[in-house]
Structure 1
Amino acid sequence: MDDDVRLSRKRDEPDEPRVDGDRSVWRIRSLAAARQVLRARSVTTQAGFTAEAIPKGYFRHHPILVSDGPQHDEQRRKVARFFAPAVVHERYGADIRTTAEDLIDAAVAAGTCTLDEIALRFTVDVTRRIVGIDHSSLRGLCRRLDSFFNQPPLDVTRADFGRSRAQWARAGINALVPLLRFYLADVRPAVRRRRRHPGATVVDHLIAEGYRTPDILVECLTYGTAGMVTTREFITMACWHLLRDDALRERYLVAGEAERTAILEEILRLEPVVGHLYRRMQQDFELTHGESTFTLRAGDLVDVCVRQTNTDAEAVGAHPRCLRPGRELPRGVAAAGLSFSDGAHKCPGQTLAMAETDIFLTRLLRANPRPAAEPTLTRDQLIEGYALRGMVLSFG
């Protein structure tokens, strides 16, 4: 068997069978089969991130992360201008570099830092400026956004999400209290300020589209937490890999932007921050895998197992668990696999996340950090991924 370099692998997760159905839950570990489901517009709806527990009638504009159909497509089309590659590099690039330099220079001056803590401040600072909630305390905003992930365990494959009444009550309190704080300290002041002094942020766009304050609040939470948690974890994971592999780190530091991006995409293919994507079938659907055909029925839940699809040798080639940047891939297979999803819910912030990570790590690694303590890896059940905490770096 090939050496498995994945630091976040779960030893109890099977790679086979590539398509498996059990009690109206389908688990897909084939990248090609997963793409069929994720690209089946109007046939499926979002079922991850507790989407099916969010009331549909309360919001005039259903949150973009969990909406579907024409409304979702229109939302995506209109916010695309904030995350287009040219916009990311031309409008945000200088600010991202300045933010990274300030944080890393301070860490170098102090002689040490905890990587996940400064990665949190970095990603939240970048995201809040794009979203338009940048008038409150950065430290306070980091604390408020981070607190949303203090949630009881859940199991999306069960009708009750695997939670008792007591756990649902605790989940409600753990979500509503931070949400109220987020609204009072960050969103309400931002909306008021943007109404008086319009600009070119996501909040300005939402106001112009007629979003009510509750709609704006949830969208800000979506962009804030999505922009924070996934990029924060990936920065720490990519740094961990690069500090463990001297040759790879040296290659990264002398490479051009395209090659650095290829290295990061290969790390992300192996270490996807979101480990599972869920869809609910709204119509019967014929899924093909090899010479087999499977009938997915309306109402069935589909679990796309991203760690397995990303290491599917039929899609990514030989030695799928080894880190080989620039590997040859079939047409249509992304270098990061399904780490940014695919189809209607493909992550719109992909370019921004990769640019942030590259700019931050390039500056950090040039400061010649040394690992003083490796991170502790735990599981985050809300995003079905990992959390890395306590990676201490020293300088000088």
Structure 2
Amino acid sequence: MTEAVASGCPMHDNVDRRKSAKLAAKMTKPDGGAHWVKKPSVARAILRSPEALQAGAGAEMLNFENPEHMPVFFLDGADHRKKRTKTQKFLSPKAVSEQHHTIMREVTDELLAEFQRAGTAKLEDVSFQLAIEVVGEILGLTNSDQAGRAKRIQRVLYASIAQREGNFANRILKFQQAFHTGNFFLWDVLPAIKARKKAPKNDAISFYIEEGYSNMAIVVECLTYGAAGMLTTREFIVMTAWYLFEDLALRQRFLDGDSKEQINILLEILRLEPVAAMVHRRVNAEVEGLGEKPMPAGELYGIDIRAANVDEELVGECPFAVDPDRAQRQRDTGRYLSFADGPHNCPGWQVALHETRIFLEQLFKLPGVKLDREPDMSWNEGVKGYELRNAMISCDKSA
């Protein structure tokens, strides 16, 4: 009898099969000068603290003349709450079910029809195109050519999160960032702004215009939501698909389940394989639990999402098992720290989950669908998470 069975593990297996574990163990580390937080209780206390300020990802280097026009990701306190309340209408469960489900299904149908005609595809290309179109619809980036928009968005997002050492390399990087951002603005954002000024829609750019945002502030908003909603969702789709391709029983449970069951399965995979491994906060108050004495106010903390999400203190027994019933048994939502927590939890988590759910449900209904090549895995230091590339899928060709 194995230790897992003897301990009453509901899945009868507590083997660590996380695909990104080895790479993440090597690459996950906090920013310089930050305290490494792995204990879930301390992590949640920091994330939920009203004295915790967003840090990392350039948050402490941005300064906008009008705080109301600063991206919600970089705001704190009353300014953050006010902005989050205003913009949440585009990302709420109601918006997802009543407005975004339609575009998710339409784009999924288009992409999978194209996949069936070709009979083969790179999974990350399909998932990225889906993420671009869904987030683009939410933002209002719909007045430029689809293929060109995808390329420009990819270039500007990667340039915006890239990091290089050395003065000369940094100068080149800044030039590339400016060039790609300018291209993105001229070909994608500006046409959308002009169209919304003539005929506003129920999207973010129409809202930004109504609120008096400058063109630059609108570009920054689009890039902020783009990085969060496009880059990370692409990896999430590929990772969850990889699990379902390998585990036939889990895949069948996913296909047989209702939307709630499907979400539980996706959340369990994400718990084990969070796309963002670490987030940072600066806390203007004492923090207890990291040592014998409280840490003084003003310290920087790196919250290890991966470590917390496999800690029995947070997730219960057999933390390495893929257990879709875990959250219900614990009377938890199943999110754990996968989308962070507290005021700065991911605002678009509902969009990412349902977008992934709808796409995978349709993908796995295709005749003959299979994974021909497992993805290559690398690390993106800008988002502090894994990247999955060159996953080749195929299916029976349509007539």
TM-score exceeds 0.5: yes
Label 1:58 to 1:91 Cα distance change in 2 as closer, same or farther (>3 A): closer
1:44 aligned partner: 52
- Secondary structure of the equivalent of 2:97? helix
Tell whether the 8 Å contact from 1:36 to 1:287 is kept in structure 2 after alignment. no
Which residue of the partner structure matches residue 11 of structure 2?
none
Does 2:139 align with 1:137? no
Larger helix proportion of the pair: 2
Q: Structure 1 pair 354/60, CA: closer, same or farther in 2 (3 Å)?
A: closer
Check conservation: 1:203, 1:216, Cα contact below 8 A. yes
Deviation at 1:330?
8.5
Pairs within 5 Å for 1:302-341: 302-328=301-327, 334-341=333-340
In the alignment, is the contact (CA less than 8 A) between 1:286 and 1:294 conserved in 2? no
CA drift at 1:139:
1.6
Q: What is residue 204 of structure 1 aligned with on the other side?
A: 206
Contact 1:33 1:288 in 2 (8 A): yes
1:235 to 226, 234, 237: 237
Whether the 8 Å CA contact 2:374–2:390 is kept in 1: the answer is: yes
How far apart are the structure 2 equivalents of 1:141 and 1:227?
A: 15
Q: Check conservation: 1:306, 1:338, Cα contact below 8 A.
A: yes
Q: Do the aligned partners of 2:122 and 2:391 also contact (CA within 8 Å) in 1? A: yes
Cα distance, 1:341–1:57 mapped onto 2, change above 3 Å: same
Mapped pair 1:7 → 2:19: yes
Q: CA deviation at 1:217?
A: 1.0
Q: Does the CA contact (< 8 Å) of 1:145 and 1:225 recur in 2? A: no
- Which among 209, 218, 221 is matched to residue 219 of structure 1? 221
- Partner AA of 1:251 in structure 2: R
Residue correspondence of structure 1 range 1-396 to structure 2 within 5 A: 2-10=14-22, 13=25, 24-41=33-50, 43-57=51-65, 61-147=69-155, 148-150=157-159, 154=163, 163-281=165-283, 283-288=284-289, 294-328=293-327, 334-367=333-366, 368-396=368-396
Could you tell me how far apart the structure 2 residues matched to 1:84 and 1:218 are? 21
- The answer to whether the Cα contact below 8 Å between 1:317 and 1:328 also exists between their aligned partners in 2 is no
Deviation track 1:112-143 (CA, whole Å, cap 9, x = no partner) reads 11100011111101111111111112222211
Amino acid at match of 1:145: I
Q: CA deviation at 1:13?
A: 3.0
Q: Identity of counterpart residues, as a percentage?
A: 32
- Does the residue aligned with 2:73 lie in a helix, a strand or coil? coil
Report deviation, 1:150.
4.4
Distance 1:264 1:22, change over 3 A: closer
User: RMSD between aligned alpha carbons?
Assistant: 2.4
Equivalent residues of 2:277, 2:305 under 8 A apart: yes
Q: For 1:349, give the aligned amino acid.
A: G
Unaligned runs of 5+ in 1: 15-19, 155-161
Gap change, CA 1:23 and 1:78, over 3 Å in 2: closer
Q: State the 1:204 CA deviation.
A: 0.8
Distance 1:105 1:387, change over 3 A: same
SS of the residue aligned with 2:213? coil
Query: TM-score, normalized by length of structure 1?
Result: 0.90
Larger mean Cα displacement after TM superposition, 53-62 or 301-310: 53-62
Residue 329 of structure 1, CA deviation: 6.8
Residues of 2 paired with 1:210 and 1:330: CA distance?
48
Unmatched 5+ residue regions in structure 2? 4-13
CA shift for structure 1 position 321: 1.5
Q: 1:276-333: CA deviations, max 9, x gaps?
A: 101123x2313237xx665232332100011111111111011112211121478785
Displacement after TM superposition at 1:334 (Å)? 4.2
